[in-house]
Amino acid sequence: MGCAASRHGAVSSPPYDVSSSCSYNMSRSASASADLGSSSALSIWSRPVRLEAFDEEDDERRRLSGRDAAARLGNVRRCMEGEQAAAGWPSWLSAVAAEAVHGWVPLRAESFERLEKIGQGTYSSVFRARELATGRLVALKKVRFDSVEPESVRFMAREILILRRLRGHPNVVGLEGIITSRSSPSIYLVFEYLEHDLAGLSSSPDITFTEPQIKCYMRQLLEGLAHCHARGVMHRDIKCANLLVNNSGELKVADFGLANLFAPAPAAPLTSRVVTLWYRPPELLLGATAYEPSVDLWSAGCVFAEMHARRPVLQGRTEVEQIHRIFKLCGSPPEDFWRRLGLSHGAVFRPQQPYPSRLRDTFAASMPDHTFRLLATLLSLDPAGRGTAAAALDAEYFTTAPYACEPESLPKYAPNKEMDAKLREESRRRSNLPSQGGEADKGLSRGHKSMRLQDTNQSHVHAEVRRCRGRWAHLRVLFSVHR
């Protein structure tokens, strides 16, 4: 069974489809229930009854209807599990994540030749592989989880459901299938293969992005985010390493392991402990548990700045240091920031004296006004000030020369990923050569260099960190991790 069969099955089968026999049983049960309900209603109204008697019978009818609905739902679930067992899905997966794999057929591990490791995360490893039947390259993501722990399986299932919801957009990485079997406790997600990620490209000493190239990458990033947000998905881990690029110049948002659905009025609090530290927005660092897709736009602003500076611009070592680095670059938030976002306990992090914004001093000298305005919008301390991904695509930045180049006109590079960047940095350390920061300084503006010099003298930031660190353990108790 090849990837093509799995893909077609996924497209033709909606998430809640069941077999014809299941549908027949459901409709028959529903009809019987409707008939029972109508006859009961007629018998009540054909004779005088006390209001209390009507209420009692109505309550009983609701109880019967609820039990009948639960029974029908149970029948549907058993039918789905039966179909998935016949398709070859392991019982531990179909019992907890039936909806995630419904309509698909598992791929077989022996259909692929696993090559080298190309990525490593907290919860997964990524390998380059070859599909033997076609010879084409794919990426295999081995997900680490405990198959006997339902909650662990549910998190993995959520990633699959979100990837299926987002399929078909040119700027979102495509899930092509799942490798597992009834006898296997592990799962590989099969993705299209892309040769690079933005972390590897932007940190390479041999690569310097032009303004049209940066515009091309940013346009594709925002297109991908606009699609995610329109489909009700927050990525919650946008960073250069999760933005993949192929040799056709296409950028695709990847790694939805921390992604979640959002609603205007969420039913339950969200966890604030998402997004890689250097790309995490201030509201999450301050413990917000009700937030929206604007968290992704802050991260996109960090990526935008990184492509210009050729290094991450907010490199805190702890959460406390990270929030003070943000305040030092973007300025201290106004008083109503804490009140409007419900972050009254965030007063713990308020600096003893306010920071002025240094964003313009740091970047404006090397950027046209329209470029700086987009950066300032994305790096707004106020989540509402960041706008939306769709609005960012309409910014003057994209309608002013030099225009974004077309993806196919981007240079062709040798494979270059975050892992390659780490190997380069390790090689430099062993050879006692200057880090990438030293190389990058050659192309930075005076403002960028001043930012680097300021980063070497952080005594006042460290003083704030020491002031807050004693209260941080207590504050962590308040920041409960809900989901």
78 vs 227: which has the higher pLDDT: 227
pLDDT of the residue at 241: 95
pLDDT band at 57 (very low <50, low <70, confident <90, very high): low
Q: At CA 236, angle to CA 235 and CA 240, rounded to 5?
A: 85
Q: Give exposure, 324-363, as e/b (b: 16+ Cβ within 10 Å).
A: bbbbbbbebbeeebbeebebeebebbbbeeebebbbeebb
Is residue 451 scored above 90 in pLDDT? no
Q: What span, in angstroms and rounded, lies between the C-alpha atoms of 357 and 2?
A: 55
Between 206 and 223, the higher pLDDT residue: 223
| Tokens at 306, concatenated | 């990184």
Mean pLDDT of 346-375: 87
Could you confirm whether 237 is annotated as catalytic? yes
The rounded percent of the chain whose pLDDT value lies above 70 is 70
- The answer to whether 417 is a known ligand-binding residue is no
Go through the domains of the chain in sequence order and give each one's CATH number. 109-192 (3.30.200.20), 196-478 (1.10.510.10)
Predicted confidence at residue 97, as pLDDT, reads 81
CB atoms within 10 A of CB 447: 19
pLDDT category, 331, cuts 50, 70, 90? very high
More confident: 132 or 156:
132
Task: Please provide the DSSP assignment of 70-121 as one string.
Answer: HHHHHHHHHHHHHHHHHHT--HHHHHHHHHHHTT--PBPGGGEEEEEEEEE-
Out of 197, 237, 255, 420, the active site residue is 237
pTM over 0.75: no
Is the predicted pLDDT of residue 22 greater than 50, yes or no? no
Which tops the pLDDT comparison, 477 or 249? 249
**In the predicted model, is pLDDT for residue 333 greater than 90?**
no
Residue 113 has pLDDT above 60, yes or no: yes
Q: How confident is the model at residue 284 (pLDDT cuts 50, 70, 90)?
A: very high
- What sign results for the dihedral spanned by CA atoms 483, 190, 223, 368? positive
3-state secondary structure labels for all residues of 190-235: EEECCCEEHHHHHCCCCCCCCHHHHHHHHHHHHHHHHHHHHCCEEC
Q: Which residue has the higher pLDDT, 32 or 383?
A: 383
